[in-house]
Amino acid sequence: MDTSPPFPGILRAMKIPFFSRKPSHHLAISINNPDARSLLFDRKGRIAGSASKVIPSSSGPQGWIEQNPADILAAVRDTLRAADVTAKPAVAAALMIEADAILCWDKQTGEALSPAFSSTAAETPKDQRDIADGIRRRTGRMPTGRCGAIRMQWCVENLDAVKEAADRGTLVTSPLVSWLLFHLIEGEPRIICDSANARETLLFDPKSRDWNTDMVGLFDLERSYLPTCVPTMVNFGVLKDNGVPLYLVTSKRSASMLAGNAVPDTTTAFIELDDEATLLTALPEDGAVPEHFLDMIVLDDNKDVVGGTEGKIHGAGAALAWQLAKTGQADDIDKIGEWMTQVSNAPVFLNGIGELASPWWRHDFPTEFVGDGDSREQTVAVAESLLFMLKENLDSMALVSGYINQIVVRGELARIDGFCQRLADLTGSPVWRYPDDTNIARGAAWLVADQPEQWQADEPTVFTPTKDSELTDRFWRWQAQMFQRLKQYADID
């Protein structure tokens, strides 16, 4: 990855005190489901201390994930106060959070009025399918069950404490990060939300970097309910628990593009491989997001913005779990890489699990096998369908970003060596896999440390492309079947 300095303005426009840019310790705070973690890095990027705490969760309404906000705040504060993390004074901090959790709260007291609700649902709600393209053009996002606005609207309509706060004029509906900042930062409380987390709500306008009035109205919300939008890189204030100034607040997804201690360039693609697959690339300066893809904010310092393109595949790990459960092989996911080296004549799998996402966006696309095969061959076909959809997305994204010469993968499916190797073979680009997500926290700390040259990086496993003509032939066969089926649906429309 390119390790040259980032575009002009980053950090310098934030007016960080000079002492904080001298070699010293820096802190990264990561809030995920199911834990909170704080890591202290020394002047060379080595871990000098760490602490983590599990955050309980349960099943909530609509099949959502429900967490007690007080548990989340307590977990974060416990890690910030841990002896290992406070052993050396830090001069700057970064905070990253999984961005789909929301809650409602009182702006005067800071009291949580709802649980923190998040969702793993990838499908487009039925009442928004006809307007999905219009929503994407306004917000750069597609309406799915993950978008926070859906849960905000439900809370306003169904929770008495939320209704009462709305009547009093003290209601805030926001991403979880806003409530945490209200309680974590010293001084007069601020009701704010960074742009990376705001964009996940489906209410954010990436052009104005503020809330979109039409979208707020679509979900029967009020602009007064929402926090003030701010960049991801500003002086957020000093953390109460340790006196460390906080200079970066962003989503875990945006922070993942700092892996390897570099501001991302357009030639590197970052792919999360979990129940769904998410593909991320940085946009060239003044570049536009390709048609049928999603908009994202990588970094924003109130002067310059690193924008990005996001692609989605809903049928990733979810599709493999569906196939393995169907065939009674639920415990065999680690064998998929081996099977992919052994099977050379798998059927074609048309993967509509969880709806067909980018760059096609068809909620009514069928899920079916074309051709015969036993259970193992069908499982390989499902895995290969994910490979093929990744290639289709990467090829389309490259029309704007330029040739992608490196792929960085993370997530559950990234553990499968055979899958990573075939991704490299099919795309012709080396695939990098870091040992764990520590490199994301290290990259965020590297950024607020002013991008020092001597900063440790985790050693990745690199999968180098080899020629696999059989795999390429199966890709062309799959692509022909996909185009044929998509044309049938287009003719029906």
Highest mean pLDDT among 31-35, 213-217, 301-305: 213-217
Query: Residue 122: pLDDT above 80?
Result: no
Query: Residue 42: pLDDT above 50?
Result: yes
> Among candidates 132, 53, 61, 165, which has minimal Cα distance to 360?
132
Handedness of CA 65, 72, 271, 208 (dihedral sign): positive
Question: Residues 300, 233: contact at Cβ < 8 Å?
Answer: yes
Q: What are the residues whose beta carbons fall under 8 Å from the beta carbon of 287, sequence distance 6 or more? A: 266, 307, 400, 401
Confidence category of residue 4, pLDDT binned at 50, 70, 90: very low
Query: Residue 3: pLDDT above 60?
Result: no
> Among candidates 204, 358, 340, which has minimal Cα distance to 294?
358
User: Which of 119-128, 170-179, 444-453, 479-488 comes out lowest in average pLDDT?
Assistant: 119-128
Strands, DSSP E only, in 356-448? 368-370, 406-410, 431-433
pTM of the model: 0.91
Q: What is the pLDDT of residue 345?
A: 87
Query: Residue 19: pLDDT above 90?
Result: no
Helix pair 417-427, 469-492: axis angle to 10 deg: 80
> Among candidates 298, 173, 187, 175, which has minimal Cα distance to 246?
187
Query: Residue 117: pLDDT above 90?
Result: yes
- For the record, the structure tokens of 12 come out as 């310098």
Q: Higher model confidence: residue 118 or residue 3? A: 118
Torsion of CA 246, 296, 298, 1, to 10 degrees: 150
Query: Residue 180: pLDDT above 70?
Result: yes
Question: Residues 70, 82: contact at Cβ < 8 Å?
Answer: no
Residues 351, 348: Cα–Cα separation, whole Å: 9
Q: Higher model confidence: residue 347 or residue 206? A: 347
Architecture of 261-433+460-492 per CATH?
A: 2-Layer Sandwich (3.30)
Query: Residue type for 363, please?
Result: H
Residues 313, 475: Cα–Cα separation, whole Å: 17
Residues 355, 486: Cα–Cα separation, whole Å: 13
Q: What is the pLDDT of residue 216?
A: 95
Query: Residue 8: pLDDT above 50?
Result: no
Helix, strand, or coil here: 90?
strand
319-361 pLDDT, tens digit each: 999 999 988 887 778 889 899 989 888 999 999 998 899 999 8
Confidence category of residue 106, pLDDT binned at 50, 70, 90: very high
Question: Residues 202, 124: contact at Cβ < 8 Å?
Answer: no
Q: What is the pLDDT of residue 399?
A: 85
Give the percent of the chain with pLDDT over 70: 94
Confidence category of residue 372, pLDDT binned at 50, 70, 90: very high
Query: Residue 15: pLDDT above 80?
Result: no
Residues 9, 33: Cα–Cα separation, whole Å: 33
Radius of gyration of the chain (CA): 22
Query: Residue 247: pLDDT above 70?
Result: yes
Query: Residue 412: pLDDT above 60?
Result: yes
Mean pLDDT (whole number) for 393-413: 91
Superfamily of the domain at 12-256 = ATPase, nucleotide binding domain (3.30.420.40)
230-243 pLDDT, tens digit each: 999 999 999 999 99
Confidence category of residue 491, pLDDT binned at 50, 70, 90: low
Q: What is the pLDDT of residue 20?
A: 45
**Strand 305-313 with 294-300, pairing:** antiparallel
440-479 pLDDT, tens digit each: 999 999 999 989 988 988 899 999 999 999 999 999 999 9
Mean pLDDT (whole number) for 277-301: 88
Q: Do domains 12-256 and 261-433+460-492 have the same CATH topology?
A: yes
Q: What is the pLDDT of residue 141?
A: 79
Domain residue ranges in the chain:
12-256, 261-433+460-492
Confidence category of residue 81, pLDDT binned at 50, 70, 90: very high
Q: What is the pLDDT of residue 134?
A: 80
Mean pLDDT of the chain: 89
> Among candidates 1, 463, 26, 6, which has minimal Cα distance to 242?
26
Query: Residue 14: pLDDT above 80?
Result: no
Q: What is the pLDDT of residue 197?
A: 95
Q: What is the pLDDT of residue 458?
A: 85
Query: Residue 274: pLDDT above 70?
Result: yes
